[in-house]
């Protein structure tokens, strides 16, 4: 458990704080993971915000926690940890000095400064922290995506914050890495010999990594329309998953070793430029459609504008140019308003080199390993077997099914809880190094540039489907098809 700490959340009344950070800290408290002297100092823009803060936080908890997690009794205790404090981030005044006074009550205590604010003011916030004298040797800075808009802007942000915090004290969050199921991916790969022997171009035909969502804009039109799915999901979450699937075994499970291996994978991604982008990527945008008979509006209607080429869906084919992965396609896909909420990795193995059974035994399917990360964690291995009911040899695929919800009946993963507590405990292994951010943008930027240079807009797809037909076409070019998880649930089911 982390020792007690002070966490200062800049942007204390913002969406991220109310939706994710306060619920995460409440869960930590409920599970006895917050020591009593811990303080959650939430910056509010005005006195009105302070007066309403506790009420707003209680409402947010009721909205974003599962019904059985919220209880008035626990809330009454937890709210003692909350310190709303008025602060204009841009202006050093008596409120900043009040913050200093509050924190100096224990100068040696761990300080976590969480910037839940737009990146454009990261630099200024750090400068003010320094000027007011709030940065101590025990201080850590936590920053969130979007870390920039492209390689240049990301570098500018990283350079600005590096003036005030050393790299070892900067915690860049990709919340996918905080998901227990994503960490299990590393455990699966690096503690089981049977997979490692086959984890390469000799045995693997292709890999699919797909994160589908059923939600639409969720009131984030301003941010999303400028970003689009490539920046919002692929540059970070999907590339991080790709790294975990493709990287070599780190020497140890520590930040330095893991980050070094991920950086090598990102550096080996084959660059895509101009013509290659058109060949290897598909953009999509949803139009009105339905979920279980209920109509939902299209992207442009939600946006309230008739014109936007912003992609709400991306499918692409990537290659990792190294010995292990030579010529193995990695298909990445993500989209909003898709048919089901699911994050899944599919490892499709090659066909057997020689068929020993007659054609009459039926077709052979190559082995497939499916690792579903959410909504539930399941690992499935499909293999061929004999149909035992038939005297004649009849072959059929059978599935080994490992469903973690059978084992962990009370398990509830909260990536933010995990990452905040890790930052407080100076455990950096699940955070992103500056060089990873730079490499990921370096690969993404030319794709965006090529898209911008074409007149064609995104391909349209109906809400409630698996994306535009062109996405199926991309895989069909290689004789493949998307593995779409059978179970259909919406975001609100979880």
**Least distance between ligand BG6 and beta carbon 23 (Å):** 13
Cβ closest to ligand BG6, residue 128 vs residue 334:
334
232 near ligand BG6, judged by CB under 6 A: yes
Identify whether 237 is a catalytic site residue: yes
Asked whether the beta carbons of 237 and 176 are under 8 A apart, the reply is yes
Least distance to ligand BG6 from the beta carbon of 105, Å? 35
Min CB(63)–ligand BG6 separation in Å: 15
Catalytic residue among 237, 354, 433, 480: 237
- Measured between alpha carbons, how far is residue 405 from residues 408, 410, 413, 489 in Å? 5, 8, 12, 16
Q: How far apart are the first and last CA of the chain?
A: 28
CA-only gyration radius of the chain, Å:
24
Distance CA 101, CA 134 (A): 10
Q: Which of residues 296-355 bind ligand BG6 (CB under 6 A)?
A: none
Instruction: Give the dihedral of Cα atoms 296, 298, 303, 306; nearest 10 deg.
Output: -140
Determine the Cα–Cα distance for residues 346 and 123; give it in Å rounded to an integer. 40
Q: What is the DSSP string of 369-385?
A: EEEEEESS-EEEEEEEE
330 neighbors 346 (Cβ within 8 angstroms): no
> Residue 425 Cβ, how far from ligand BG6 at the closest point, in Å?
22
Peptide bond preceding 187 in cis form (omega within 30 of 0): no
Q: Give the nearest distance from C-beta 213 to ligand BG6 in angstroms.
A: 5
- Quote the tokens at residue 319: 């290659």
Examine residue 203 and say whether the peptide bond preceding it is cis (omega within 30 degrees of 0).
no
Window 48-87: residues binding ligand BG6 (CB under 6 A): none
State the minimum distance, in angstroms, from the CB of residue 460 to ligand BG6. Answer: 20
| Size of site (CB under 6 A) for ligand BG6 | 2
Decide whether 214 or 281 has the Cβ nearer to ligand BG6: 214
For residue 322, give both structure tokens: 């190294």
Nearer to ligand BG6, 75 or 223 (CB): 223
232 versus 377: smaller Cβ distance to ligand BG6? 232
Q: In terms of CB distance, is 309 or 324 closer to ligand BG6?
A: 309
Provide the H-helix boundaries in 14-67: 15-16, 22-30, 47-64
Q: Does 377 bind ligand BG6 (CB under 6 A)?
A: no
- Complex with ligand BG6: residue 175 or 206, whichever CB lies closer: 175
Angle at 373 between CA 321 and CA 212, to 5 degrees: 80
Nearest residue to ligand BG6, scored by beta-carbon proximity: 232
Binding ligand BG6 (rule: CB under 6 A), the pick from 213, 414, 422, 445 is 213
Q: How many CB atoms lie within 10 A of CB 157?
A: 20
Residues annotated as part of the active site: 237
Binding residues for ligand BG6, rule: CB under 6 A, are 213, 232
């Amino acid at each position: 458990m982390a020792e007690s700490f002070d966490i200062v959340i800049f942007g204390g009344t913002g969406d991220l704080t109310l939706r994710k950070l306060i619920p995460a800290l409440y869960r930590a408290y409920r599970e006895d993971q917050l020591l009593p002297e811990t303080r959650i100092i939430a910056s509010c823009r005005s006195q009105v915000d302070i007066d309403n803060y506790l009420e707003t936080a209680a409402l947010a908890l009721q909205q974003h926690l599962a019904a059985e997690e919220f209880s008035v009794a626990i809330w009454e205790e937890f709210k003692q940890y909350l310190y709303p404090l008025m602060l204009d981030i841009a202006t050093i005044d008596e409120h900043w000095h009040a913050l200093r006074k509050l924190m100096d009550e224990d100068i040696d205590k761990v300080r976590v400064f969480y910037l839940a604010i737009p990146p454009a003011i990261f630099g200024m916030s750090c400068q003010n922290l320094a000027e007011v004298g709030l940065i101590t040797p025990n201080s850590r800075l936590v920053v969130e995506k979007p870390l920039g808009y492209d390689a240049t802007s990301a570098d500018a942000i990283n350079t600005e914050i590096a003036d005030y915090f050393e790299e070892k004290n900067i915690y860049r969050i990709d919340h996918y890495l905080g998901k227990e199921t994503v960490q299990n991916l590393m455990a699966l790969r690096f503690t089981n010999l049977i997979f490692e022997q086959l984890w390469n171009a000799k045995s693997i035909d292709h890999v699919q990594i797909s994160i589908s969502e059923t939600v639409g804009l969720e009131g984030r039109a301003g941010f999303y329309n400028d970003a689009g799915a490539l920046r919002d999901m692929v540059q970070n979450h999907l590339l991080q998953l790709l790294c975990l699937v493709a990287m070599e075994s780190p020497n140890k499970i520590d930040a330095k070793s893991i980050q070094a291996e991920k950086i090598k994978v990102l550096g080996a991604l084959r660059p895509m430029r101009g013509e290659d982008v058109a060949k290897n990527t598909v953009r999509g945008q949803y139009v009105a459609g339905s979920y279980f008979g209920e109509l939902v509006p299209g992207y442009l209607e939600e946006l309230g504008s008739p014109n936007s080429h912003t992609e709400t869906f991306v499918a692409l084919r990537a290659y990792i140019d190294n010995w292990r992965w030579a010529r193995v396609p990695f298909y990445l896909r993500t989209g909003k308003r898709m048919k089901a909420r699911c994050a899944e990795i599919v490892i499709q193995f090659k066909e057997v080199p020689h068929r020993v059974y007659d054609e009459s035994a039926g077709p052979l399917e190559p082995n497939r390993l499916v690792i579903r990360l959410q909504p539930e964690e399941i690992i499935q291995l499909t293999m061929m077997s004999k149909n035992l009911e038939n005297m004649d040899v009849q072959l059929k695929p059978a599935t080994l099914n490992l469903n973690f919800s059978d084992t962990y009946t009370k398990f509830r993963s909260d990536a933010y809880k995990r990452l905040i507590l890790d930052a407080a405990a100076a455990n950096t292994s699940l955070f992103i190094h500056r060089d990873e951010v730079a490499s990921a943008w370096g690969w993404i930027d030319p794709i965006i540039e090529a898209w911008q240079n074409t007149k064609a807009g995104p391909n349209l797809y109906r809400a409630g489907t698996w994306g535009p037909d062109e996405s199926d076409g991309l895989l069909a070019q290689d004789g493949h098809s998307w593995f779409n998880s059978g179970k259909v649930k919406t975001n609100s089911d979880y």
